[in-house]
């Protein structure tokens, strides 16, 4: 059945006496332990700004990780030590080698070696491109890996990461403790408690546009601190523990609200269940009167853990290396229905897009995909614009669309036997407009997160409510 998406926090679930006390779930209040930012780019003249906010009175260790768009190989990660009520900001920009780098003007303590810190191509051994321009698009995450109890490494009675007159007391002591191997013996940390929020902004100074969206936020990701060394590739999605998901959905047809509380064999499955959607929906505009152009970002954050083995694992259908069509990418078929603002609709197939996706079907082949609407210039100058719906594939200059993930057997079954249909997905739409036709060379931009549909079949942990109101 199709249900409106509604996710409740674990605190609410515990108050209702249902579900798992520790199970990964989507935050409904905008704060949590894990921030998932669906896109970054430095293509064309774009730069990506980011902010991570600690809304609590506790110290936080946050692992910030950047992944490229092609196959979400990691290009950089490091720790940020946030003091109470602290904000860390940074910018992803062009690097001298044609790739990308992170620059921060912020005083918060990090384990970055240099500032700006270049991305690396050390993990580009997956049959994908190996040049530095692969670093220029992707997505990124911020995971709270520990709550700080005590980190007075220099013994002066002050917490080294806490700001004194706007600057951490002794950030160098934190870096040195990792380098000389004394960090874990000299500090005390505890289980993450959440309270992080964040925003990404993609800005083009030359065209005068900026789009901003909040991060997708997960709660209850880790049940113990994982204050690992900054050079570690962990924790990652597979470290979600105790490998459970809590998903609350409402069915307007029956007026019921159900909690699906499921156990999984892997941590990435638990995260994927929380992000699973059978369809994403959003608006578009290509109106020439407003010089409008629209792009959708469609990102599959957990995909690389399913497609880089000998065979693809559910819910994905094709491996990245050695795909059956030999192109070295992992493509999943999608469906698309596009509506204008007056109920007119089209359902494009491969013959109406340029360039045609594999086997003349609509497919998404990357981890972070850009779908462009209209014949005008691209919103983000993206290299991974895999699908373009030209004007001939649109029923009108403005409207909305539904992208479905049910064309192929995109399903995942929990230990409990609950079947989730779709793909784990996040993203947003960005529309850029201009008014040069009235003699003023100005541009405008706006971004909106996607709406989602879910398809879950199984026995919920509980259901409340009754028949829908008349």
Query: pLDDT at position 354, please?
Result: 42
Q: What is the 3-state secondary structure (H, E, C) of the chain?
A: CEEEECCCCHHHHHHCCCCCCCCEEECCCCCECEEEEEEEECCCCEEEEEEEEECCCCEEEEEEEEEECCCCCEEEEEEEEECCCCEEEEEEEECCCCCEEEECCCCCEECCCCCCEECCCCCCCCCCCCCHHHHHEEEEEEEEEEEEEECCCCCCCCCCCCEECCEECCHHHHHHHHHCCCHHHHCEEECCCCCEEEEEEEEECCCCEEEEEECEEEECCCCCCCCCCCCCCCCCHHHCCCCEEEEEEEECCCCEEEEEEEECCCHHHHHHHHHEECEEEEEEECCHHHCCEEEEEEECCCCHHHHCCCCCCCCCCCCCCCCCCCCCCCCEECEEEEEECCCCEECCCHHHECCCCHHHCCEECCCEEEEEECCCCCCCCCCCEEEEECHHHCCCCEEEEEEECCCCCCEEECCCCCEEECEECEEEEEEEEECHHHCCCCEEEEEEECEEEEEEECCCCEEEECCCCC
Cα–Cα distances in angstroms (integers) from residue 413 to residues 38, 126, 158, 272, 305, in the given order = 25, 28, 50, 11, 16
Q: What is the pLDDT of residues 187-225, one digit of tens each?
A: 999 999 999 999 999 999 988 889 999 999 999 999 999
d(C-alpha 227, C-alpha 220), whole Å: 16
Query: pLDDT at position 360, please?
Result: 54
Span between the terminal Cα atoms of the chain, in Å? 20
Peptide bond into 116 cis (omega under 30): yes
Query: pLDDT at position 133, please?
Result: 83
Query: pLDDT at position 351, please?
Result: 42
pTM tops 0.85, yes or no: yes
Query: pLDDT at position 164, please?
Result: 96
Angle at 63 between CA 62 and CA 67, to 5 degrees: 140
d(C-alpha 263, C-alpha 266), whole Å: 9
- Ranges of residues in the chain with a pLDDT under 70 are 1-21, 125, 127, 321-328, 349-360, 437-441, 467-470
10 — alpha (psi -120 to 50), left (phi > 0) or beta?
alpha
Query: pLDDT at position 392, please?
Result: 84
Please state the length of the chain: 470
Query: pLDDT at position 468, please?
Result: 43
């Amino acid at each position: 059945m199709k249900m409106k998406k509604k996710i409740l926090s674990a605190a609410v679930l515990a108050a209702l006496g249902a579900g798992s006390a520790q199970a990964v779930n989507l935050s409904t209040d905008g704060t949590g332990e894990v921030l998932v930012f669906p896109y970054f780019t430095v293509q064309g003249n774009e730069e990506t700004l980011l902010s991570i906010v600690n809304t609590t009175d506790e110290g936080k260790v946050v692992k910030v990780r950047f992944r490229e768009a092609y196959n979400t190989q990691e290009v950089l990660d490091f720790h940020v030590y946030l003091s109470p009520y602290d904000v860390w900001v940074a910018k992803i920009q062009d690097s001298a080698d044609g790739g990308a780098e992170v620059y921060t003007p912020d005083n918060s303590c990090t384990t970055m070696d240099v500032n700006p810190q270049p991305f690396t191509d050390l993990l580009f051994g997956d049959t994908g491109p190996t040049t530095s321009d692969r670093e220029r698009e992707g997505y990124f995450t911020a995971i709270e890996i520990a709550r700080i109890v005590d980190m007075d490494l220099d013994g002066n009675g002050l917490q080294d990461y806490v700001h004194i007159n706007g600057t951490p007391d002794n950030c160098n002591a934190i870096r040195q403790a990792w380098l000389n191997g004394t960090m874990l013996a000299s500090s005390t940390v505890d289980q993450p408690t959440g309270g992080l929020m964040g925003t990404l902004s993609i800005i083009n100074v030359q065209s005068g546009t900026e789009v901003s969206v909040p991060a997708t936020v997960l709660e209850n990701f880790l049940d113990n601190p994982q204050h690992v060394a900054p050079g570690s590739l962990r924790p990652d999605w597979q470290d979600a523990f105790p490998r459970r998901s809590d998903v609350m959905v409402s069915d307007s047809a029956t007026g019921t609200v159900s909690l699906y509380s499921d156990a999984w064999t892997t941590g990435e499955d638990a995260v994927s269940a929380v992000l699973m959607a059978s369809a994403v929906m959003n608006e578009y505009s290509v109106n020439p009167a407003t010089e409008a152009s629209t792009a959708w970002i469609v990102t599959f954050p957990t995909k690389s853990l399913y497609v880089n083995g000998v065979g693809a694992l559910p819910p994905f259908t094709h491996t990245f290396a050695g795909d059956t069509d030999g192109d070295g990418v992992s493509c999943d078929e999608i469906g698309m229905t596009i509506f204008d603002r007056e109920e007119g609709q089209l359902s494009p197939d491969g013959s109406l897009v340029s360039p045609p996706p594999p086997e003349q079907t609509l497919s998404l082949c990357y981890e972070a995909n850009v779908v462009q609407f209209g014949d005008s210039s691209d919103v983000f100058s993206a290299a991974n614009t895999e699908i373009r719906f030209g004007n001939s594939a649109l029923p009108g200059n403005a409207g909305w669309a539904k992208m479905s993930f049910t064309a192929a057997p995109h399903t995942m079954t929990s230990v409990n036997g609950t079947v989730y249909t779709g793909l784990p997905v996040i993203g947003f739409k960005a529309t850029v407009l201009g008014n040069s036709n009235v003699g003023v060379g100005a541009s405008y931009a706006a971004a909106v997160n996607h709406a989602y549909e879910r398809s879950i079949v199984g026995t919920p942990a509980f259901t409340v409510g009754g028949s829908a109101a008349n």
